[in-house]
């Protein structure tokens, strides 16, 4: 029991530091990109366009327009807010779990509740990431006419495919199962405490 509480306390400190590192990096990136968007959009319009398609990278003989820069930076801002928010939620739920374990109560109700919330964060992240990737692809498709990259006869159309990762569903189901196990353990612990 002592090693479990000691490990939980160490992990609490590590996740607390990581939480603030994510916040600081997210705020710095957000403010930097927002400043670029508002004050210095010309810094990128003189750069050659660089596009990654899967494992292929293309450097085009074209330059970014101001509209393309605004679209790309706005997209990055949304992605930063999304990922920082998700990481902060995960760290908060992990802190709740580790706090109970560090206090010697691994089968506390808060552990099961936090695992259940974490499961829904995982599922929501998978769904929102799929939507965000689709929107990102549509923005890139509209910002750059990708069919111009290839000869007109070789490419008949260009489309966006939406994919949902199975890992998010498996993670959701596993965390939901663990939450039920810990809630059952909390009920058993409560019954045991009442009989004593």
pLDDT at 67 over 60: yes
Report yes or no: 5 and 101 within 8 Å, Cβ to Cβ.
yes
C-alpha atoms less than 13 angstroms from C-alpha of 76 in its C-beta half-sphere: 18
Question: Which distant-in-sequence residues (6+ apart) come within 8 Å of 136 by Cβ?
Answer: 75, 79
Distance in angstroms (rounded) separating the CA atoms of residues 12 and 92 = 10
Give the pLDDT confidence score for residue 187 in this predicted structure.
87
Give the pLDDT confidence score for residue 138 in this predicted structure.
78
C-alpha atoms less than 13 angstroms from C-alpha of 98 in its C-beta half-sphere: 17
- DSSP secondary structure letters along 1-65: -HHHHHHHHHHHHHHHHHHHHHHHHHHHHHHHHHHHHHH-THHHHTSEEEEEETTEEEEEEEE--
Give the pLDDT band (50/70/90) at residue 46.
low
Task: Tell me what the mean pLDDT of segment 40-51 comes to.
Answer: 60
Taking CA atoms, 194 is separated from 3, 88, 110, 190, in Å, by: 27, 36, 19, 6
Residues facing 52 on adjacent strands? 57
Give the pLDDT band (50/70/90) at residue 49.
low
The residue among 28 and 189 whose pLDDT is bigger is 28
pLDDT at 23 over 80: yes
Give the pLDDT band (50/70/90) at residue 27.
very high
pLDDT (tens digit per residue) in 140-191: 777 766 666 666 666 666 666 777 788 999 999 999 999 999 999 888 888 8
Q: Report the candidate in 101, 123, 120, 112 with the shortest Cα–Cα distance to residue 15.
A: 101
pLDDT (tens digit per residue) in 4-20: 888 988 999 999 999 99
Task: Tell me what the mean pLDDT of segment 73-83 comes to.
Answer: 87
| Structure token pair of residue 82 | 């999304």
């Amino acid at each position: 029991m002592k090693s479990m509480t000691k490990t939980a306390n160490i992990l609490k400190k590590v996740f607390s530091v990581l939480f603030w590192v994510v916040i600081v990096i997210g705020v710095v990136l957000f403010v930097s990109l927002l400043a670029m968007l508002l004050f210095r959009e010309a810094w990128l319009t003189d750069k050659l366009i660089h596009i990654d398609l899967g494992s292929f990278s293309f450097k085009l003989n074209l330059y970014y327009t101001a509209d393309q820069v605004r679209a790309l930076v706005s997209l990055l801002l949304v992605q930063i807010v999304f990922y920082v928010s998700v990481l902060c939620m995960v760290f908060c739920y992990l802190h709740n779990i580790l706090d109970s374990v560090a206090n010697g109560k691994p089968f506390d109700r808060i552990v099961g509740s936090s695992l259940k919330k974490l499961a829904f964060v995982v599922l929501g992240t998978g769904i929102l990431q799929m939507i965000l990737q689709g929107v990102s692809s549509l923005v890139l498709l509209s910002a750059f006419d990708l069919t111009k990259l290839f000869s007109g006869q070789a490419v008949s159309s260009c489309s966006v495919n939406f994919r949902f990762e199975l890992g998010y569903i498996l993670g959701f189901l596993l965390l939901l199962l663990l939450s039920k196990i810990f809630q059952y353990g909390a009920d058993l612990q409560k019954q045991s405490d009442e009989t004593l």
